Structure 1
Amino acid sequence: MAFRTVSRIAALAALAVAAGCDQTARVPPPCPAIVVVGDTAELTQFRPGPGRDLTDVVAEGRIDRFDGFCETDRNRDGTGEIAVELQLFFVIASGPANTTRFATYEYFVAIADTSERILAKQTFSAEVAFEGNRNRLTAFETLVQTIPVTAGQDGGAFTVYVGFQLTPDQLAYNRSKRR
């Protein structure tokens, strides 16, 4: 008799738990992957001229980290858009050749499909001020990128690439540091 009572209580508890579950609960669609492009993750700005040693550095930067999330909005026909909100964190340092106590840098956000074809790219500019005796700081930028989607597409069909927008010389310098 005691076993039957325990079994009934367990069955009622299981029913209560099951009743609390929403059978229509859905897993949210995936967000696009966010990738920092390796060769463009760092920036070194030199003063004009041929010098390329430590004393010629105006500013240095690196993409420290990023956060992001997305929301998908669909029309009845299945088309819609994915809004990707990004927060990019940059560590920027003033170099010995910096005479203004400011640093300006550009970075890009590009959206690619699964075949790595760039669908859109936008370049942004930012400026930081080194106040007091600070020579290094963390700056962050928040932005939203909107990706149009067709019926059946989700965030997994896209990759968001970020990096510093470098000159050819800056890119060559980054690549030479890896050798």
Structure 2
Amino acid sequence: MKKTLRTFAVLMGPLFVSACGGNFSTDLFGSDQAPLPCPNVTVLPGAENITIFREGPGRDLVDVTFEGVIEPIGGECVYEDDDALVVAELLLQVSVVKGPAANTETPTVPFFVAIADRDKKVLSKKVFDTTIQIPAGQKRGAVQEEMIQRIPILSGRTGADYAIVIGFQLSGEQLEYNRKTIR
């Protein structure tokens, strides 16, 4: 399944980008109406990376079990219910690298998907866990997650008035570590 999603993303990536904008109509009956815009997808600054340390007080590089990165790699949206609802499908990639203290080949990392309005007010947020299988003898692994978000659109607004925000669900300690080390 993950290989299928990867192939799908590579083959359909250009279509995803063009499905949410551009200068063509998606109406098969010849309407000249431009497609409505998709919500912006962004990674919350400071939450794009995660560093997981082994249990205990050590916080040196030798204590790192895994480091991870999350990023959006594709997506598309469609409007439903007379443009009162946008259904956004996004494809995320979560990658990890084993650190010196790694003790498993299948780390699980938490990430979130949130919806915010144009005033940056968070309308909804959900936390997910994903497990990454690192192939034997390798230091890196990745997984792709397909997420579907249903966003009610207020009258007079479009998907462009909303943002889909993703990132790792960090502990206070992890967030502080990111602020100190990642530039």
**TM-score using structure 1 length:** 0.81
Equivalent of residue 61 in structure 1, options 60, 63, 68:
68
Residue 19 (structure 1) aligns with: none
Q: Distance in 1 between matches of 2:32 and 2:105?
A: 53
Matches within 5 A, 1:4-83: 24-75=31-82, 80-83=84-87
Q: Paired residue for 2:176?
A: 172
Name the aligned partner's letter for residue 46 of structure 1: F
Whether contact under 8 Å (1:60, 1:94) holds in the other structure is: yes
The one-letter code matched in structure 2 to 1:140 is Q
Q: Which residue of 2 aligns with 1:89?
A: 93
Greater share of residues in strand = 1
Distance 1:52 1:25 in 2: 58
What is the alpha-carbon root mean square deviation over aligned residues?
A: 1.6
Between structure 1 and structure 2, the one with the greater Rg is 1
Matched to 2:106, the amino acid is F
1:112 aligns with 2:119: no
Using structure 2 for the length normalisation, give the TM-score.
Answer: 0.79
Gaps of 5+ in 1: 1-21
**1:148 maps to which of 143, 149, 152:** 152
TM-aligned CA deviation for residue 36 of structure 1: 0.6
Runs of at least 5 residues in structure 2 that lack an aligned partner in the other structure: 1-28
Q: Percent of aligned positions with the same letter in both sequences?
A: 35
The answer to whether the 8 Å contact 2:37/2:159 transfers is yes
2:138 equivalent to 1:131: no
Count of paired positions: 155
